Structure 1
Amino acid sequence: MTHKTKGIVLRTIKYGETSLVVTIFTELFGVQTYMVNGVRSAKKTGAKASYLQPAAILDLIVYHGEHKPMQRIKEFSWAFLYQNVLSDVIKNSIASYMVELLFKCLKQPETNTDLFNFCEEALVELDSCSKKVAANFPLFFALHLTHFFGFRMEDNYSSGNNFIDLQEGIFTDHQPVHPHFIQGERAQLTSQLLKVMQPHELEEFNLNHITRRQLLLDYQDYYALHIPEFGQMKTLMVLHEVL
């Protein structure tokens, strides 16, 4: 039986001479793995394979069987045609970071329409936003993605509560006894970023690359404390370079 669904490509691995194994976060079935045959043949390499790169937003017609480790795609086409994300080095690096972060968090193939809508809207916003907004976009996405996985930070910052306990996800008035905390300016900026509801508001943040870099490392630490086997993000080093 076939189903129509949207999907965001998370990872693509070459298989054999002509096929791909593609991990896609679908609107209907959550994260799924698909075998796509013949897509890398000489006649199709320049066209169909380009649809299946990370961050692509697709309309899909898929075969779906419950509890199968790998599904199949009947048809796929663009659901949204990017103008910049797949061609601009900076925006592509940011999208790659967003997709890797999402991939590391998605552990079970369960439907989460709200999460899908958030990620789709974020990628569409990234495509058309200004350079300044784009530079702050990874911080916004990393902080707000936590909401969908149940460990969003509680924004109770004040001049007294100026430490973030990353193990507990709260602001506190004393330095935690463990090394996983944020303090001072970075804690205040995190509180301000938590208040951002729409990406265009990121235009108001005047951050230098050193502060952005440290915040992204802080947030990676936060995810590693709350997502089992999270590890290190491969795209973070690239992001540090381009930003």
Structure 2
Amino acid sequence: MLHKTNGIVLRTVKYGDTSLIVSIFTELFGLQSYIVNGVRSSKPKAARGNLFQPGNILELVVYHQEIKNLQRISEFKLGFIFNSLHFNIVKNTVALYMIELLQKTLKEPEQHLELYYFAENALKVLDTAEMPIAANLPLFFTLKVGEYLGFKLNGRFSEYTPYLDLQEGHYIDLPPHHIHHLDPIGSELTDAISQCTDAAQLGNIAMNKERRRKLLYAYLEFFRLHLPEFVEMQSPPILHDILDA
């Protein structure tokens, strides 16, 4: 049966001489793998295979059968045309971080509508964002992905609760008896980031490159504490080098 759905390309692997196997986070079916034939030959039609670049948002018509691990695509085209994301090295690196985080956290082929809409919008925002919005977007994106996956930070930073306990996921009055917590500065910044309702607000949150780096690694540790299958990511060191952040 054919279905229309949007999807975000996460990963592309060459298959055979002319085909691709593509991992796509779809609006309707969550994470899915598709085989796409005939898009790597010398024929002009094969140039359409370039549309399966990680981060691209596609409009798809797909065959879907619950019992299959590998689905097929009937039709595909760009659902959104990026102006700078694929050409600006900073934005492209931020996008690759976002895509890798989705790859590492989405394991089951189940619908995540709110997360899908958030991720699609975040990529569109990144395309037009300026610094420091782009530099702070990975922090915001990471916290929000965790929230949509079910481990939201509870409480608020205040003079009475100045420490964020990452193991328990809430703000507390004194440092806990373990290493998985943020100091008052990091806790206050995290609260400010998590309270943003619009990406433009990220531009008002000032921090130096070392603080931004430490926060991102702390958030990824938060993921490891709450997602046992979460494995180390490759993109953060590259992200920090490119952002100088």
Within 5 A, what are the aligned runs for 1:189-208? 189-208=189-208
Cα displacement string for residues 59-101 of structure 1 (whole angstroms, at most 9, x for unaligned residues): 0011111120100111110000000111111101111111111
- Name the CA distance, whole Å, in 2 between partners of 1:15 and 1:241: 32
Within 5 A, what are the aligned runs for 1:3-42? 3-42=3-42
Contact 1:29–1:111 (Cα < 8 Å) also in 2: yes
Contact 2:51–2:77 (Cα < 8 Å) also in 1: yes
User: Aligned-pair distance for 1:45?
Assistant: 8.3
User: Aligned-pair distance for 1:44?
Assistant: 4.7
- Name the CA distance, whole Å, in 1 between partners of 2:10 and 2:18: 20
Bigger shift: residues 231-240 or 46-55: 46-55
Within 5 A, what are the aligned runs for 1:222-237? 222-237=222-237
User: Aligned-pair distance for 1:184?
Assistant: 2.2
Bigger shift: residues 34-43 or 77-86: 34-43
Cα displacement string for residues 4-60 of structure 1 (whole angstroms, at most 9, x for unaligned residues): 110001111111222111110111111100011121112258721221011100000
Contact 2:164–2:172 (Cα < 8 Å) also in 1: yes
Residue identity in the other structure for 2:140: F
Quick check: 1:170 aligned with 2:162? no
User: Aligned-pair distance for 1:204?
Assistant: 0.6
- Name the CA distance, whole Å, in 2 between partners of 1:180 and 1:131: 29
Residue identity in the other structure for 2:166: L
Q: Which segments of 5 or more consecutive residues in structure 1 lack a partner in the other structure?
A: none
Q: 1:216 to 1:46 in 2, by over 3 A?
A: farther
RMSD in angstroms over aligned alpha carbons?
1.3
Quick check: 1:59 aligned with 2:59? yes
> Which residue does 2:129 correspond to in 1?
129
Question: What TM-score does the superposition give when structure 2 sets the normalisation length?
Answer: 0.95
> Which residue does 1:141 correspond to in 2?
141
Q: 1:39 to 1:112 in 2, by over 3 A?
A: same
Quick check: 1:219 aligned with 2:208? no
- Name the CA distance, whole Å, in 2 between partners of 1:151 and 1:105: 12
> Which residue does 1:96 correspond to in 2?
96
Contact 2:30–2:111 (Cα < 8 Å) also in 1: yes
> Which residue does 1:156 correspond to in 2?
156
> Which residue does 1:86 correspond to in 2?
86
Bigger shift: residues 32-41 or 156-165: 156-165
- Name the CA distance, whole Å, in 2 between partners of 1:74 and 1:68: 16
- Aligned positions, number: 243
User: Aligned-pair distance for 1:207?
Assistant: 1.7
Q: 1:177 to 1:59 in 2, by over 3 A?
A: same
Cα displacement string for residues 167-213 of structure 1 (whole angstroms, at most 9, x for unaligned residues): 11101112222221111211110011111110000111122211111
Q: Percent identity?
A: 44
- Name the CA distance, whole Å, in 1 between partners of 2:159 and 2:6: 45
- Name the CA distance, whole Å, in 2 between partners of 1:168 and 1:69: 35
Aligned-partner SS, 2:55? coil
Residue identity in the other structure for 2:102: L
Contact 2:55–2:96 (Cα < 8 Å) also in 1: yes
Q: Which segments of 5 or more consecutive residues in structure 2 lack a partner in the other structure?
A: none
- Name the CA distance, whole Å, in 2 between partners of 1:238 and 1:62: 34
Cα displacement string for residues 114-158 of structure 1 (whole angstroms, at most 9, x for unaligned residues): 211111111111111112211111011111122211101113211
Contact 2:10–2:25 (Cα < 8 Å) also in 1: yes
Question: What TM-score does the superposition give when structure 1 sets the normalisation length?
Answer: 0.96
